[in-house]
Chains A and B, each alone.
Chain A
């Protein structure tokens, strides 16, 4: 079952076309990795999936993007609703300058949850879901900024989980982390795919092979190859994919 699909997706930043006619079907409850050299369009593509590009000036999107068969660029689409369904975690951990507890409770409060017991439950469940509960349960009132980089990133994942999304987008979510924190997040991603669809952008080929089920290779705004990760990294179909993943690009 495909949860997100694009058909003939074009995107321009002013005169510069960043995505060229992308057709892609993203399978539900799998990890999909987007790879490609800098400037290839992979992060731009990721951001079209929850309309984060709306915030960029002079951006123009054409073609179809559907989430559970709903056209997310149709007039009248509730973008807040969309971003609740399709959450995002960024490259640099960006906890709010408030307590660990309030970081997690922030989203649910915006969406109208007021009960203390209910919020307590969401905070605990989200932190457990992001595999950080045991490390922070005794200091929930402490500032989130006191956490290490790896813990902050897991906190951001917990914050994304708190609003019970369907899909998680991760834009190079481990590139600023040390190997131990990276492996914790990779393990977490593998566990999360039981309940969530996860789409990651990564420059780390080994990470893509370790944790993704399907993989998409972008080059100069085009989708060059899309398929099973094991297939792509053992027998890529396109010479350009082979050149990129084996480091012989350019």
Chain B
């Protein structure tokens, strides 16, 4: 029963997994752009985020059509409302990547490849893992996997503190690197925000499975 609707729900899940894969790609590409010798990598990251904007509109349309045509309740309603919330977080992740890429594009060519990026790399890797896991938790209806994403956020926050400390030290020791150090602090903050969006996605994945929104008093009853 409801074969068409079930197929449409599967397509919605697949579209979100695709968009999350693009988000991972954008995070990875933009992080590489920080050490890349040319501007091409940063530009590619921006292109990826533009494609994500298109995907967002497509997923929103899918959700609105399903709400209109199927008048979903119970788990179906949670699946679609969670998708509508998660797609916004994914799109914001794209925005943060674009912001990072635009900062990187402002750097003179020779400034790329300078060190002090170890913490930022670590943050980027963890944030990408969080995005991937959170969407897979949704697609697989795995609330436990989603909870591990929320736990990872503390590690990203701790890395942000370390990144900031080392960049402040850089700022003090090498005044000529001050602009870049400040940019990198901003970039670290963007990555920390990306991890926060992944946490939001994980919370909606849990909501989809259990009906409870972690860290909120949202309750329909």
Contact = CB atoms under 8 A, between A and B. Distances in A.
Does A pair with B? Answer: yes
Interface of A: 205-206, 209, 227-228, 230-231, 233-236, 241-242, 245-250
30 contacts: A205-B73, A209-B73, A230-B220, A230-B221, A231-B220, A233-B74, A233-B77, A234-B73, A234-B74, A234-B77, A234-B78, A234-B211, A234-B220, A235-B74, A235-B78, A235-B210, A235-B211, A235-B221, A236-B74, A241-B74, A245-B73, A245-B74, A246-B2, A246-B72, A246-B73, A246-B74, A246-B75, A247-B2, A248-B2, A250-B1
Nearest to A249: B1
Interface string B1-34: 1100100000000000000000000000000000
B1 A233 contact: no
Interface residues of B, number: 15
Contacts of A227: 221
A250 B2 CA distance: 11
A170 B75 CA distance: 29
B73 A233 contact: yes
B76 interface: yes
Contacts of A250: 1
Given A205-B71, A235-B210, A245-B73, 8 more contacts: A205-B73, A206-B71, A230-B221, A234-B78, A234-B220, A247-B1, A248-B1, A250-B1
B197 to A, nearest CB: 24
Contacts of A245: 73-74
A182 to B, nearest CB: 15
B2 A242 contact: no
A249 B75 CA distance: 14
A58 to B, nearest CB: 35
A231 B78 CA distance: 12
